[in-house]
Structure 1
Amino acid sequence: MKITSALRAAKRAPVLQVAKTGVAIALSWFLAGLLLQVEMPIFAAIATLLVVAPSVNQSLMKGVERSLGVVLGVVIAIIGTFVLGTETWAVMIAILVAMGVAWLVRASPGVTNQMVISAMLVIALGQGSFDYSLLRIVETVIGALVGIGVNMLIVPPVLVGPAREKMADLGSETAATMVRLADALVATHTPGQLQGLMIEARLLRPMRDAAAKAIEDGYESLMLNPRRSKHRAELEEMKRVLDEVLSPIGTQVLGMTRAYFDHYTDSLAEEPAAHDIADQLDRAAHDVRLVVHEADINPEPMTSMIPALTEPLELRPPRGGNWILIGALMEDLRRIRMGLVKDEAD
């Protein structure tokens, strides 16, 4: 791994996030200095820097986390000063004690880091003074409150857009996988082509997981967000489409591709039933795109707004030894149809 890749992020933070953090730090610095009459309210600035998060919910949790860490760290510093004094080695002992206490209570990394930093700075800079310690606690709380407030007031980030993009990608890839399988059913293939078909089908799993994670992030971004009522219905519809349509259909399509890969024979391309199933897969792919379009996940215009799955497939008896594969494909196709045709699902 190159050093530059380890030190650089995959992408830049949004400009709005950087601007909000800068505004929040400046405001907390000014406010803490004005209220507490201190020249360098470093604790307030640090708290604000760490609290301004991508979502209001995360911001609130970080505010509680940092404030609790400071309180515990200051308490350790006061007790350490009373017992050990303010010698240089007392700072090291206070750091070790803070780490030990955090480990015993299973504190989060944020609380642990804040405990250690606060204990160290209170002894090193404030000589364990109670007044200094109390000021640092109040200063940190001011910084955390300012960070939370600014994150709520300056266009809180709503992560509905990324969820919509992931769902649109999943819907498009699900339909594309069905079309590829339909094309494969009516042609002969080399082992390498079959392997490629299987590899492409397996891409549906990570795409489904990415869509689910994006929806979860979207819900989290709406918690304690003033604009949550406007976007919650969108996320609920995306989650319904994912859970009731795309996820089950993706499972069935992957199973169909696996069965085709395992039981493929060149004679299958001449099987009338294979051509019938291929036609149904093409129709089902259209209807998958239609579901995604109607859910406002993908606003691109459809060539046809009429569902393509109209009449159930009447299967003709397969020839030769292909009846096992045809039967397996038909069962998965039946389940796909149930997920797309509401009347039959009901």
Structure 2
Amino acid sequence: MHLPAAFSPTRLRTSSRVPLVQVVKTSVATVAAWFVAMLVLPSELPIFAAIAALLVVQPSVNQSFGKAVERSVGVIAGVVIASLIGLLFSGQTWVILLAIVVSIFFGWVFRLGPGSANQIPISAMLVLAIGAATPGYALDRIIETLIGAALGVIVNILIVPPVALGPAERDVNLLAGELSNTLERLATALTSPQTQQQLDSLMIQARLLRPMRESAAASVKQGEESLTLNPRRSAHRTRLEAVTHLLDRFTPVVNRVIGMTRAFHDHYDSSLIDEPALQSIATELRRAAHDLLLLVSPIPEETEADAPAPDTHVPALTAPLRITRPHPEHWLLIGSLMEDLRRIREEIVGD
């Protein structure tokens, strides 16, 4: 029997595993929360503490802190709502449903995040269903949750606080490599006849720079978040500043390169091959492609085939070009290429 695609077992799995260190930290935090809560509140099994610790250990310290606050707020709000409704409608069989509905609307009214909004009705339901006949049950569950949340944060800080700068550096390097490749392709196109299919392909490849830039920006943002509240921040601040600075420099270059490609695509005609200025512009584009790669750390081995390696560590850019008057039909394109090339050069040399 064939299962529908919606029920495919592959939907239960991810393409990559959670880092082993995070699994270990989650286990340590859960076990620690269980035993600490048992010492503080020996009368009940510390389910709330274990759940809180389990959920609070996140890929970054900042996310762990946010999850701890989110979880604590949800439990406290749910316990308070359940206690108030229990006092008003004591003994009624439908009070649990009422508490759930009120909790859902409470999260909606205050625009709470999914974590807190879902936790409120769960806590309210558990308090009314399990602890209605147990004095002090609601207060104990709040204390228990705070213990689990606090231990989740503490464990995430003490055991190898996560630093996610590797993906940021990798994605910025990949962006630099693709920028270099795009400049090389444009330089080749300027000096050889082009078909419409080749022009379209050139434009499509240039447009792919934008999603690459967005991916790099997302990785840099995750790197910044991983260092927020992280005791290892000072040791990695220089790396973060370097990769952020490079992304800031590459962002306008992405726009310039796409603009140059679009101008060439839209204004191309077969007589452009006779313009002597394009040969000089193509040479400068290749030099710019070379020097872009000098700005980044070495490309990882698995991506070396995708990006040309610079031949030397000496910058290849020269002084600004002097262009003789082009054909009247081509001056707009050549002027546009020269202006964008000038601005790309300024980003590369840091002016």
Please classify the TM superposition score into its range, dividing by the shorter chain length. Answer: over 0.9
Aligned residues of 1:273 and 1:317 also touching (Cα < 8 A): no
For residues 303-346 of structure 1, give each alpha carbon's deviation from its aligned partner in whole angstroms, at most 9, with x where no partner exists: 2011100222121332462222111111111111222234xx3x
Aligned residues of 2:260 and 2:336 also touching (Cα < 8 A): yes
> Structure 2 CA distance, aligned partners of 1:98 and 1:207?
42
Post-superposition shift, 1:42?
A: 0.6
RMSD across aligned positions (CA): 1.9
Matched residue, 1:313: 321
> Partner of 1:307: helix, strand, or coil?
coil
Q: Which amino acid aligns with 1:310?
A: T
Matched residue, 2:141: 136
For residues 3-50 of structure 1, give each alpha carbon's deviation from its aligned partner in whole angstroms, at most 9, with x where no partner exists: 335433343221211221111111111111122114521100111111
Matched, 1:304 2:309: no
Q: Which amino acid aligns with 1:313?
A: L
Matched residue, 2:98: 93
Post-superposition shift, 1:298?
A: 6.9
> Structure 1 CA distance, aligned partners of 2:124 and 2:257?
58
Aligned residues of 2:70 and 2:116 also touching (Cα < 8 A): yes
TM-score (norm 2): 0.92
For residues 217-265 of structure 1, give each alpha carbon's deviation from its aligned partner in whole angstroms, at most 9, with x where no partner exists: 111110111100111121112111221x211111111100000000111
Matched, 1:74 2:75: no
> Partner of 2:312: helix, strand, or coil?
coil
Matched, 1:31 2:39: no
> Partner of 2:162: helix, strand, or coil?
coil
Aligned residues of 2:49 and 2:144 also touching (Cα < 8 A): yes
Matched residue, 2:283: 279
Matched, 1:335 2:351: no
Matched, 1:3 2:7: yes
Matched, 1:268 2:272: yes
* Structure 1 unpaired stretches of 5+: none
Matched residue, 1:163: 168
Q: Which amino acid aligns with 1:152?
A: I
> Structure 2 CA distance, aligned partners of 1:109 and 1:290?
45
> Partner of 2:166: helix, strand, or coil?
helix
For residues 70-128 of structure 1, give each alpha carbon's deviation from its aligned partner in whole angstroms, at most 9, with x where no partner exists: 11111111111112224442111110111122222222221111111110001101116
> Partner of 1:292: helix, strand, or coil?
coil
TM-score (norm 1): 0.93
> Structure 1 CA distance, aligned partners of 2:135 and 2:115?
24
Post-superposition shift, 1:130?
A: 4.5
> Partner of 2:38: helix, strand, or coil?
helix
> Structure 2 CA distance, aligned partners of 1:192 and 1:323?
24
> Structure 1 CA distance, aligned partners of 2:156 and 2:162?
9
Q: Which amino acid aligns with 1:282?
A: R
* Structure 2 unpaired stretches of 5+: none
The aligned length equals 340
